[in-house]
Amino acid sequence: MAYVLDTVDLPPGERAEAVRTAMMYASAPCHVIHEEPDGPVHARMEVWDLGDANVFTHRSSGIRLLRTDRLARQDAMPVVALSVQLRADGRIAQAGRQAVVPAGELLAVDLSAAYDYSWSGHGAAGAIQVPFDRLGLPVDLVRRAVPEIRSSPYHRMLIDHVGHLARDPARLTGNAAVATASVELVRALLATAVPPGRDTRRVLAETLLTRVLAFARAHLADPDLSPAAIASAHHVSLRHLYQVCAEANLSLEQWIIGERLRHARQDLLRPENRHRPVAAIAHRWGFRDPTHFTRRFKARYGVLPSRLRRSSETDRG
């Protein structure tokens, strides 16, 4: 289930108060200051459960969220937010640091502390919000890591992951495996954003499989993606990678092929791709040989790719 506020259904005079009330529930208590309080204020907020965490999406006219020290002292449960700017530059100030975060970039905010976050004009952001106690990391490590997330080698991976969650929360947030993987990726990001120590080594060992699968998803289109390439990217031996996968009862090669086939099938069923050659779609998802793709596709779905496409076009009439 999701909590949704959309001011399009509200009289203009009630929108600012509705946004303030919604923000109390969706994120952290803060002062909500609209860029044009007497102008066309509009906002859409959604909060989706993600296990013990949540996904929060926010699209609105220019806004400033000001959390003072006094408001911060009222909260007992520390929460960290990893947010991707989807539209407009975000401006964040916290703990004496200031940054401008352009669209497509990631910022981290300690929601239990004071902060000042804003954007001008029509903006949008999507975040995963995780309680500190679900991360299995020392509180001081998390707070040291928050302003240093760009130092982590998993910075780009989190941008992709949070961006996907924010763009399609209805489909992704109901999956328990996605919830677990999301928290583990946040753990890995924060643990590697500070100088390495015992906690870093422990978290990297515990989250290896999650990071491997996230890396593979992001590189499915690369025909050179292989267990050896994945092991090299994660600085582990191929033998160790296979051991970790075996403990999870996972064949990495077959998992990669299955994910590629699944994405290719989705592309074949999209009306906008109806004139795109099957071979081009196969190549888009890492299959060099169209014949090999057709054989694997039929073995998985019981139908040739071309026949699947024709039947879907017939069904659409």
pLDDT in tens, 224-273: 999 999 999 888 999 999 999 999 888 999 999 999 999 999 899 988 88
* H helical segments located in 234-304: 238-247, 252-269, 278-284, 290-301
**Residue 214 in contact with residue 205, Cβ under 8 Å?**
no
pLDDT beyond 90 at 31: yes
How many CB atoms sit inside 10 A of residue 238's CB? 14
Of 242, 241, 137, the C-alpha closest to 191 is: 137
pLDDT beyond 70 at 212: yes
pLDDT beyond 90 at 58: yes
How many CB atoms sit inside 10 A of residue 317's CB? 4
- The mean pLDDT value for 62-76 works out to 87
Q: Which amino acid is at 175?
A: N
**Residue 117 in contact with residue 92, Cβ under 8 Å?**
yes
- The mean pLDDT value for 115-126 works out to 96
pLDDT band at 1; cut points 50, 70, 90: low
**Residue 146 in contact with residue 189, Cβ under 8 Å?**
no
Which pLDDT belongs to residue 317?
Answer: 55
Which pLDDT belongs to residue 73?
Answer: 82
- 152-163 in b/e form (b: 16+ CB < 10 A) is bebbebbbbbbb
Residue whose token pair is 């352009």? 102
Alpha-carbon distance 238 to 210, whole Å? 16
Q: Which amino acid is at 313?
A: E
pLDDT beyond 70 at 222: yes
For the chain, list the domains and their CATH numbers. 2-206 (2.60.120.10), 208-317 (1.10.10.60)
Q: Which helix (H) or strand (E) holds 119?
A: strand 115-119
pLDDT band at 206; cut points 50, 70, 90: confident
**Residue 220 in contact with residue 183, Cβ under 8 Å?**
no
- The mean pLDDT value for 178-185 works out to 90
At 48, list the tokens: 């989706």
Strands 123-131 and 79-87: antiparallel
At 56, list the tokens: 């929060």
Alpha-carbon distance 100 to 156, whole Å? 17
Which pLDDT belongs to residue 122?
Answer: 95
pTM here is 0.76
Q: Please give the share of the chain, as a percent, with pLDDT higher than 70.
A: 97
Alpha-carbon distance 70 to 77, whole Å? 15
